Structure 1
Amino acid sequence: MERRIVVVGYDGAELLEIASLNTSLAMANVTGEVKPPYRVLLATPGGRPITCPTGLVMQGHESLERLTGPLDTLIVAGGFGFEAATSDARIVAHVRRLAAVSRRVASVCTGAGILAAAGLLDGRRATTHWRYADRLARRHPSVDVDATPIYIRDGHVLTAAGVTSALDLALALVEEDHGAEPARRIARELVVYLQRPGNQAQMSIFTDAPPVTDDLVRRMAAHITGHLDGDLSTATLAALGGVSERHLTRLFREHLGATPGRYVRRVRTEAAAQLLAGGTLPLTAVAGRCGFGTTESLRQAFVDRYGITPSRYRAASVRS
């Protein structure tokens, strides 16, 4: 007996997404962590080879048109070719047909657009790559699009954010099927430092650098990240920058999309998340280093930002 996992690919599908899914689930079989084992199949139109954006060619295992159920999981990959795939009535129809005979359905990145075109996300909360979230929301107003999380589960449907989130999705599927410990062991075999919780944000303040068009905003952002445990009130920052609080607030809203207070809270919370995921500091020490003062303030900020408490975030992040 096997768990049949079907990944739907097409010309322009992202190789890294397909490989992350295939390798992670195959590794589960190799390590002997899962019973029954996974059987991962790549289904393509006509069963033909598909050309990925990098120019590499992948051979399909099955013809999308001839594939029948029941299936354990149907996963639609994303990629630059998703627009053509979404416009292909045959691909959309067969995804809809196979979803009806699958225990669960998922997508990675812009594959969510194909699920939405098939009506499989209507009335559901879903995510996709942050760059395409607004487009998905405009085209499918019946879908509750949330561009923040790495992945979302709504009922039996899962959607993952983009590209490397396919790895997070695969590990989440293993954990759902077989428990947390097998997923951790597989992550170690794959040399994955961190299996990110689904609620973790796609975009980080540490990778989404502030614009360089405004020197004052750039200097204030640098000061904030370098003095998390200091006085970062709007009044103090305004005095440091030699401007009024009102002017500083206007600049922050214009260039960073948040007031100084909200920006500081976000930076502190993400810094705390990094400390929790990568170390064993007590919560009191993490709160102090990041300027929260108390563990209760840290807890409230975490729940607001990630939807879980700091202790649960650490438990989900640690790979023993």
Structure 2
Amino acid sequence: MPSPTTFEELNDSRLGRPNNGLSESELRVSFVLSPRFTILPFAGFLDALRLAADEGDRSRQIYCQWEIVGPTLDPVTSSSGVEVTPWRTFPDIDECDCIVVVGGLLPHSMSHPPETLSFLQEANSADKLIVSLCQGNFTLALAGVLEGRRCATHYRHDKEFRDLFPEIEATTQEILVKSGNIITCPGGTAAIDAAFEIISHRCGQARATKGLADMIVERPRAAFSPPRMPFDELARCGDLRVERAVAMMRQNLSENFSISELADRVGCSASHLSKAFRRFSNASPASVWRSMRLRHAHWRVLNSSHSITEIGYECGFSDSSHFIRWFRKSFGETPNGLRNRMRSSNSEGCVSYPLNFGH
């Protein structure tokens, strides 16, 4: 049997659903896989769609439909070596509600042919919803569709992105960034949160929540939720002193006891603790603790109505000027500047729903 070439044929040949036309589906998603794409975000987003698309666990493409498209039908190799073959070449843009670009290893995520970049440019011009997972933001930036927008980037590749695209505002502090018709996320399990957002607003929250429940995901995270941070690796580095110190830092973000006291509590000297931290992170215990506090403060600025002074005290800073100075050094703007800018963006519709889903 020849490969199906349309959503209707896909439903007929693979899923046993009668061909009743595309208009019945509430969400049509086309996946574009980058060379050496990562499996986890692709699978997480896809499974959220699959489980929301039908009743029970029958996996029929009823409420949601999806396909994998590309410039050719040549298999695309993932970062783990698993190959996935596109189901058809790029469709007419009117057949898509949402295009999901799955990134992966660099520089491979930027190794797309002109046809792929043109397809993304056409989708953007048509105001279609475009989603990037993992290093898909590099692909979108290369296509020129991130101009004038914010985007989320993975902390491991933040410097690379900023060096290549200094004119684009990127952040490692949010699991989702919604800017106009584009959603970006740093990958991993954040792809499930991205899928939840989109399914919820297109198919209803009950259907989106069904997918999460079937995937044994307790709850969706808000867009401003902090993603996994570099110091999370210290919590499982294998050195008991460092692991205990990190746990104690997390439990005492508002406390101001010294590194010497912290070292005493984990059973070593301050110098030994500093050497252990530098071995695993190339950073001192004090800088790691301060980074934790500042990242939590960033989240509190965006997700609470507390004053900047209150947030500073909550996060262990002895006075607001000291807090503001470190915040600006870390994030490039003051806490009030960040809060006002994000409120302004929300009021202008730049980072909030409703988005255009291709109606």
Q: Do they superpose with TM above 0.5?
A: yes
Listed as ranges, the matches of 1:54-133 within 5 Å are: 54-64=80-90, 66-80=91-105, 83=108, 85-86=110-111, 88-133=113-158
Alpha carbons of structure 1 residues 263 and 84: separation in structure 2 relative to 1, 3 Å: closer
Structure-2 residue corresponding to 1:12: 36
Matches of 1:101 and 1:230, distance apart in 2 = 48
Alpha carbons of structure 1 residues 82 and 97: separation in structure 2 relative to 1, 3 Å: farther
* Shift of residue 19, structure 1, vs aligned partner: 2.2
Matches of 1:206 and 1:254, distance apart in 2 = 11
Aligned 8 A contact 1:69 1:102 in 2: no
Structure-2 residue corresponding to 1:234: 258
Amino acid at match of 2:248: I
Amino acid at match of 2:165: H
Structure 2: unaligned runs, 5 residues or longer: 1-22, 301-309, 316-334, 343-359
Of stretches 76-85 and 171-180 in structure 1, the one that deviates more from structure 2 is 76-85
Matches of 2:246 and 2:219, distance apart in 1 = 27
Amino acid at match of 2:125: A
Q: What's the TM-score, normalizing by structure 2?
A: 0.62
TM-superposition CA deviations, 1:31-87 (whole Å, max 9, x none) = 38xx982211111221333222222222212202x5432521111111126636445
Aligned 8 A contact 1:45 1:63 in 2: yes
Structure 1: unaligned runs, 5 residues or longer: 273-295, 309-320
Matches of 2:227 and 2:140, distance apart in 1 = 20
Structure-2 residue corresponding to 1:166: 191
Query: Aligned with 1:237: secondary structure?
Result: helix
Alpha carbons of structure 1 residues 266 and 144: separation in structure 2 relative to 1, 3 Å: closer
Q: Percent identity?
A: 19
Alpha carbons of structure 1 residues 17 and 227: separation in structure 2 relative to 1, 3 Å: closer
1:22 matched to 2:22? The reply is no
Listed as ranges, the matches of 1:1-320 within 5 Å are: 1=23, 2=25, 3-31=27-55, 37-64=63-90, 66-80=91-105, 83=108, 85-86=110-111, 88-204=113-229, 207-209=232-234, 218=242, 221-222=245-246, 224-225=248-249, 228=252, 232-234=256-258, 237=261, 240=264, 255-256=283-284, 259=287, 262=290, 265=293
Instruction: Supply the RMSD in Å over aligned alpha carbons.
Output: 4.3
Query: Aligned with 1:47: secondary structure?
Result: coil
Q: What's the TM-score, normalizing by structure 1?
A: 0.68
* Shift of residue 228, structure 1, vs aligned partner: 3.5
Corresponding pairs, count: 272
